[in-house]
Structure 1
Amino acid sequence: MPVPASAMPAGAHGPSTFDKLKMGAMMGGSVGLIIGFIFGATNIIRFGPGPNGMLRTLGQYMAGSAATFGYTS
């Protein structure tokens, strides 16, 4: 919900559309990293790291999830 004009000081402007886009992408990417870490770690514990090793497999989960959440937010 936008801030009413009477609550903002004279001459103040809100964030631009590009600023809102950047903030949404950063927030989505951060959430994606955390979700990717949780699900990646869970899958590595359950099924093993596979041929790529633990860190690379976890990184792939985190990067894929961050890209998905960052793009869609």
Structure 2
Amino acid sequence: MPVAVGPYGQAQPGCFDRVKMGFMMGFAVGMAAGAMFGTFSCLRIGMRGRELMGGVGKTMMQSGGTFGTFMSIGMGIRC
């Protein structure tokens, strides 16, 4: 199967590369959203210091993983 070539001679990214890029973009956006919402919710319930950092980090990882998964599924559907 021939590789699709772009307008300037470079090869287009494959399906796996697109899914991987979608996951990374979604993970970054999810981490940013998790930082904002996690900080607000942890401060609201009274966390401080190391407990605050752990809570915010956990929220960032969960939110990044969830949003990254959905973005990679969306990119996979587009392939």
Q: What TM-score do the two structures reach when normalised by structure 2?
A: 0.73
**Could you tell me the percent identity over the aligned residues?**
33
Give the one of 22, 25, 29 matched to 1:24. 22
- Number of residue pairs aligned between Structure 1 and Structure 2: 66
Gapped runs of 5+ residues in structure 2?
72-79
- Work out which of the two has the higher radius of gyration on C-alpha atoms and give 1 or 2: 1
State the distance in 2 between where 1:49 and 1:19 align: 40
| Unpaired runs of at least 5, structure 1 | none
Q: How large is the Cα RMSD of the aligned pairs?
A: 2.1
TM-score (norm. length: structure 1):
0.78
Point out 4+ residue stretches in structure 1 off by more than 3 angstroms. Answer: none
